[in-house]
Amino acid sequence: MDLSGYLTLMDKLKQSTSKVMLRLIHEFIWRMRVVRINDIVLFIPPNIFSPKFTITSGLLADVLKHELKEDDVVLDIGTGSGILAIVAAKRSARVYATDISLEALAVAILNAKINSVLDRITFLKGSLFEPTKNLRFSLIIFNPPYLYGTPKNTYEKAIIGSPYVIFTFLRKARDHLLPNGRILMTYSTISSIKLLSYMLRSLRYKCSIVKCKRLLFETIFVLKLTLSEDEGKLYFGNSVKY
């Protein structure tokens, strides 16, 4: 996908800086191995993305606590350490979690066991919706890689990828949402808002921002998406913070 019309030189510099900073943060976390986030304990081996000292997973976890219903059927795409699936399983009885990496799934299963929710999560290996077949969900969670590039290992797959991954997710998610279902997804101004708006319009999603956090070089936010017959649009002015 040609990004020349979507990222400025400053955007590219910010993305490069973010990659370096995230790598340094995770090098420190991997030396700790076991981290605690609120009431959740996680084992984080080398090459697994950690929500500790990073923003996106924490924002999404906070929103989940308000959005989740006991009867929700939840799908966590790209579960990684399992943090979001674990948060969901503490409040909803039916949770599915997918990841393309066997290494990540093994860690997520261990963390679910540590936090006593393994019996409430079904772990599936595969890319995006591939392993879910014809299943449908009332809530789909996605913390996508929004830094552009080609990932070299399991860790980088969590933060670096093609924007086509997000477009493919949004396109296929339409076929996996139950009536009145919704999607919670993170994004950042360090990536192209213009490109995201194009995706939402072309796939006809209704979108609102439910939580955001402003940092030095970027603003990270959580989107709530629902299916709509109207033209999709990203409304920054209609943010509802939990």
Give 52's Cβ-side CA count (13 Å radius).
25
What class does CATH assign to 9-234?
Answer: alpha beta
| Under 8 Å between Cβ of 35 and 58 | no
Average pLDDT, the chain: 85
Between CA 109 and CA 153 the distance in angstroms is: 20
Between CA 4 and CA 174 the distance in angstroms is: 28
| Buried/exposed code over 171-187 (b: 16+ C-beta within 10 A; e: otherwise) | eebeebbeeebbbbbbb
What confidence tier does 237 reach under pLDDT thresholds 50, 70, 90?
A: very low
Between CA 162 and CA 127 the distance in angstroms is: 14
pLDDT computed for residue 236 by the predictor: 44
What confidence tier does 46 reach under pLDDT thresholds 50, 70, 90?
A: confident
Any idea what DSSP says for residue 37? E
pLDDT digits (tens, 9 = 90+) for 161-204: 787 889 999 999 999 999 999 999 999 888 888 888 888 988 98
pLDDT at residue 133 above 80?
yes
Least confident of 4-18, 136-150, 174-188: 4-18
Tracing tokens 């076991």 back to the chain, one arrives at 34
Q: Best-predicted range by mean pLDDT among 129-143, 155-169, 225-239?
A: 129-143
Q: What does the domain layout of the chain look like in residue ranges? A: 9-234
For CA atoms 7, 9, 14, 15, the dihedral sign is: positive
Q: Which two tokens stand for residue 60?
A: 């999404």
CB atoms within 10 A of CB 52: 18
Percent of the chain at pLDDT above 90?
A: 46
Q: Which two tokens stand for residue 14?
A: 């910010």
pLDDT at residue 232 above 50?
no
Q: Which two tokens stand for residue 159?
A: 């933060």
